[in-house]
Amino acid sequence: MDAIDIMTNLHLVVPFYQAVFSADEHRVIGYEVLGRIKFNEEYRSLGAFFHDEAIPEEYRIEVDDIILHRALGHFIELENHPFLFINRDANLLMIDHGESLLELLLVYQEKGLALDRVVIELTEHNFTGDLERLNHLITYYRTYGLKIAVDNIGKESSNFDRIGLLNPDILKIDLKELLKTTTAQSYHDVLYSISLLARKIGATLLYEDVETSFQLQYAWKNGGRYYQGFLLHKPSEYLVADDIMKERLRDDTQVFIRHEKKKLYSVYDLSEQLNGTIQGLVQKYKKVEEYNELIMLLAVELNERCFRIYICDGDGFQQSANVIKEDQGWSVKEEYYFKNWSWRPYFLENIVRMKYNKKGILSDLYSDVESGETIRTFSYPLNNEHFLFIDIPYEFLFEHDGLL
């Protein structure tokens, strides 16, 4: 349908609702309002209409307001007010500095709408105006209790500085990328970074476009408090019972918990095995005083479980060369002497933990800076001043259940 067809049939424009589910209660906590038009006895999405910048701004604003009017009229009739997620184009919102939207919401507040149950969704990366002015508007909206969500994170490139400035209450992360067979590790790393950002700014994570159990598990594992997608509820002109997915979500969560516990036990078991093995090897070679000789001996003993070994002091300065596995065997890389690794995340924290606990630590999964491979590192205290670092290759992790 083109814009003229829509504008001449505004009486056929209706709100559809897609449920948002909570991870902690396994029930519906809110609905996102979506635009549909009934044409030839079927409902069609208005998404393309709203995203087409060639369509006059006043057309898109008018249709948006009609949908919101009809949704708000529905919501004020409910006894228990769920969250109402409202999509707004930040560029259109700033035409009148957000006044018309606020006025509309205040009209319905007088009719019983709780403004603290309204979430305004904005897409940060599409905004071309003054971010400071948008931030002032968001701050103003918050004085009325309105909440702010930044939408479509993960679908396009998003600027973390901009998101941090807006300080949203909710970050909506798109999971469609996970369905691609070529999903890069960098995508997972970006989502992990987003989860860290959310924790720092006190935002809640909402994972959208959940269409498979795999995506749901990913959302659960990666800090998602809210879920939304076709797997759970397709957009509908009707609201659903709060507990429609309670049993399914509870059962799925139990499966996720068992799976994650199994992986955690595998990681813990490997850490304990390495602690015992390294302790025995260090004792075996206690008379070896030269560190390069020591790590070469350890490399041969640990041949299947590592691809790089080196030793640092408590400040992160390397006290040995790197011993690295290559096609022809193990080789010594002298150029790594005295390089400092204290800038790496968790490095100093792990040094202190090892000094206090007198035992080694197995890292989480991460991408190796030099190879790009997904690896883990086992760190072990040789004494109070020097610490052994053993990098475990992806191949070993892949071959052992629960380590990836």
Residues 214 and 352 in one domain: no
Structure tokens at 54: 């060639």
**Rg of the Cα trace of the chain?**
27
Residues 55 and 197 in one domain: yes
Q: Is 375 left (phi over 0), alpha (psi -120 to 50) or beta?
A: beta
Residues 210 and 271 in one domain: no
pLDDT tens digit string along 223-234? 999 999 999 999
Residues 162 and 269 in one domain: no
Cα atoms in the 13 Å half-sphere on the side-chain side of 331: 8
In a domain, 250, yes or no: no
pLDDT tens digit string along 372-391? 899 999 999 999 999 999 99
Residues 28 and 118 in one domain: yes
Residues 17 and 109 in one domain: yes
Which residues make Cβ contacts (< 8 Å) with residue 176, sequence separation at least 6?
Answer: 155, 209, 211
How many domains does the chain fold into? Answer: 2
Which of 231, 248, 276 delimits the end of a domain?
A: 231
Mean pLDDT of the chain: 93
Which residues make Cβ contacts (< 8 Å) with residue 221, sequence separation at least 6?
Answer: 256, 260
Residues 78 and 225 in one domain: yes
Residue 109's domain spans which residues? 3-231
Query: 320: how many CB neighbours lie within 10 A of its CB?
Result: 24
Residues 16 and 133 in one domain: yes
Predicted local confidence at residue 156, as pLDDT:
54
Contact between residue 238 and residue 78 where contact means Cβ atoms under 8 Å apart: no
Which CATH number do you get for residue 363?
3.30.450.20
Element (H, E) at 391: strand 386-392
Whether the predicted pLDDT of 184 surpasses 80: no
Q: Is 18 left (phi over 0), alpha (psi -120 to 50) or beta?
A: beta
Contact between residue 378 and residue 351 where contact means Cβ atoms under 8 Å apart: no
Residues 169 and 56 in one domain: yes
Identify the DSSP state of 394: H
In a domain, 81, yes or no: yes
In a domain, 342, yes or no: yes
Rounded CA separation 357/146 (Å): 47
Instruction: Determine the average pLDDT of the residues in 322-342.
Output: 94
Q: Give the rounded percent of residues in the chain with a pLDDT score beyond 90.
A: 81
| Helix, strand, coil percentages, rounded to 5, for the chain | 45, 25, 35
Predicted local confidence at residue 360, as pLDDT:
97
In a domain, 236, yes or no: no
In a domain, 362, yes or no: yes
Rounded CA separation 232/18 (Å): 9
In a domain, 285, yes or no: yes
In a domain, 251, yes or no: no
pLDDT tens digit string along 263-292? 999 999 999 999 999 999 999 999 999 999
Element (H, E) at 323: strand 322-326
Burial-class residue 325 by CB neighbours within 10 Å (0-12, 13-18, 19+): middle
Residue that has been written with the tokens 């860290």 in this structure: 196
Predicted local confidence at residue 239, as pLDDT:
95
Confidence of residue 369 (pLDDT cuts 50, 70, 90): confident
Contact between residue 88 and residue 49 where contact means Cβ atoms under 8 Å apart: no
**Nearest one of 196, 187, 254, 251 to 222, comparing CA atoms:** 196
Which CATH number do you get for residue 140?
3.20.20.450
Residue 174 pairs in a beta bridge with 208
Confidence of residue 322 (pLDDT cuts 50, 70, 90): very high
Cα atoms in the 13 Å half-sphere on the side-chain side of 373: 16
Residues 224 and 275 in one domain: no
In a domain, 58, yes or no: yes
- Residue 270's alpha-carbon distances to 267, 312, 380, 392, 397, in angstroms, are 5, 22, 13, 11, 10
Predicted local confidence at residue 163, as pLDDT:
85
Identify the DSSP state of 345: T
| Amino acid at the residue 279 | Q
Residues 37 and 169 in one domain: yes
Residues 323 and 222 in one domain: no
Predicted local confidence at residue 176, as pLDDT:
87
Confidence of residue 157 (pLDDT cuts 50, 70, 90): low
pLDDT tens digit string along 115-151? 999 999 998 778 889 999 999 999 999 999 999 999 8
